[in-house]
Copies of this chain bind each other. A is one copy, B any other.
Amino acid sequence: MWIEKDNHLFGNFEFADFTEAFAFMTQVALVAEKMNHHPDWTNVYNKVQIKLSTHDAGNVVTHKDWELAKLVENIYLKWTGH
């Protein structure tokens, strides 16, 4: 689900419509704020693209990114019913 490239983790998430995509984003927002580690993310209608790296470490991928990536993945898998 996640691809590491150019010192970032990239993930693409797709939903039935905007309401699902934004509910997913809300759950991710709650988790990210709690970790104090925020994504660089883009939404268009039913699609969400998330890009993770650690600013404080000089914009490289750290364990904090993998930790958030794993939490986002769990949220998404629950959404998609697997």
Residues of A whose CB lies within 8 Å of any CB of B are: 18-20, 22-27, 29-34, 36, 38-45, 75, 78-79, 81
Least CB distance from A29 to B in Å reads: 5
The interface centre, meaning the residue of A23, A32, A36, A39 with most chain B CB atoms within 10 A of its CB, is: A23
A24 CA to B23 CA, complexed, in Å = 7
Q: What residues of chain B lie closer than 8 Å to A41, measured between beta carbons?
A: 42-44
Across the interface, A18 reaches (CB within 8 A) one of B24, B38, B44, B45, namely B38
Is there an interface contact between A42 and B45, defined as CB atoms closer than 8 Å? Answer: no
Residue pair A27, B38 in contact (C-beta under 8 Å): no
Contact status A18-B40, CB under 8 Å? no
Pairs A-B, 8 closest by C-beta atoms: A23-B27, A26-B26, A42-B42, A19-B30, A23-B23, A40-B44, A30-B33, A23-B26
